[in-house]
Amino acid sequence: MLQMTPRAQRRYAGNTKYNEYNKGALDAVGGKTAGMTMTVSTMQLGVCALYALILWVIGLNPVKLCGFQAPDKQALPKSTKDDIIKTVPVGFCAAAAHSSSVFALGGDPLFGQIVKAGEPVMSAIVNTLFYGKPPSVLKAACLPIIVGGVMFASLKKQAEGGYALKFDMTALQFGLLANCFAAFKGSESKKLMTDPGIKKRYGGVGNQYAVTEILAFLISLPVMFLTEGAKFGEFIELFKTSSDLQFNLVMSGMMFYLYNELATMTIKATGAVTASVANTAKRVIVLVYMAMVTGKALTDEQKIGAAVAIGGVLLYSVIDDLFASKKTKTK
């Protein structure tokens, strides 16, 4: 029987709170029309980078306290210049995935979450085309279910009868981009850590994640100044005077760092299948919670579409293992 560990529960609580604080930060700067979304995204990564540096200064990583365990030591990694250069693609993908996600959730937090639930589809495409690792036939059969769910959630009933596609284009475009870069990030990260020398010099997943987030922040900075530099002074003045922006920006950055790090620990502690099931449950929890936070109810089409898409994701996550276990029992 699959059980969600206390660590997993806290990880998904962290993801839920991240979405709330992220919305609070975006609202504090004036929403998606204010032209500061990239700035908010970059400053969240800045909080992550600062936190990573603090961990190295104190020499401890307290994240395990979330699972009521003793904190790990986190010494400065002994990585070389070449190691950092090899990590840059992971940092780039992390930066692009995060900023795209912030834009998507800024467009429509609810529909953005539904689109992001389709991440396995993009992962399958990316791994097939760029890494020569197509999904199994069983997993591939689940992909149309996920796509169909997202498409159904995009429908809106017309007053004169019938249905038409109607959705927030920002949420769709950037949600798909976030899924794409998240797929590349996962594959590049796995490829990086297959090098035993790099793995040893980093000294653990915690350090690799810390370096990735610092690189993501440094990569995001020039993009932020190129796209929203004219409004950075306005952002600074707003940050000085708005306690809402200060609180939500810092908390969203912290929640983003912690829940992603806990995600890695959850997979190591429980296995990929249990983590996948819990991750599917997270989508449901986040959707319901964000509907409460935003005061915006899901339409019937969004409810059905989300249920189908999330069900498809769950099936995609466990179908190979289910059939493998059945084969083992029949032998």
| Confidence class for position 321, pLDDT limits 50, 70, 90 | confident
**9 pLDDT tier (thresholds 50, 70, 90):** very low
Q: Is the pLDDT of residue 279 over 80?
A: no
**pLDDT band (50, 70, 90) for residue 103:** very high
pTM: 0.87
What's the rounded Cα separation, in Å, for the pair 310 and 95? Answer: 25
Mean pLDDT score, 279-284: 68
pLDDT in tens, 60-90: 887 655 554 556 778 899 999 999 999 999 9
What pLDDT was estimated at residue 165? 76
* 325 band by pLDDT with thresholds 50, 70 and 90: low
Over the chain, what is the mean pLDDT?
Answer: 85
Structure token digits, residue 150: 């997202």
Closest CA to 23 of 152, 112, 153: 112
pLDDT attached to residue 6:
47
For residue 299, the model assigns a pLDDT of 87
Looking at the chain, the whole-number percentage of residues with pLDDT higher than 90 is 47
Determine which of 76-80, 163-167, 237-241, 324-328 has the lowest per-residue pLDDT on average. Answer: 324-328
> What Å distances lie between residue 123 and 103, 135, 182, CA to CA?
20, 9, 8
d(CA 164, CA 144): 20
User: What pLDDT score was predicted for residue 66?
Assistant: 58
Band of residue 298 on the pLDDT scale cut at 50, 70, 90: confident
- The per-residue pLDDT for 291 is 83
pLDDT average, residue stretch 110-126: 88
Which residue, among 232, 257, 262, has the nearest Cα to 98 in the 3D structure?
257
Residue 51, pLDDT score: 95
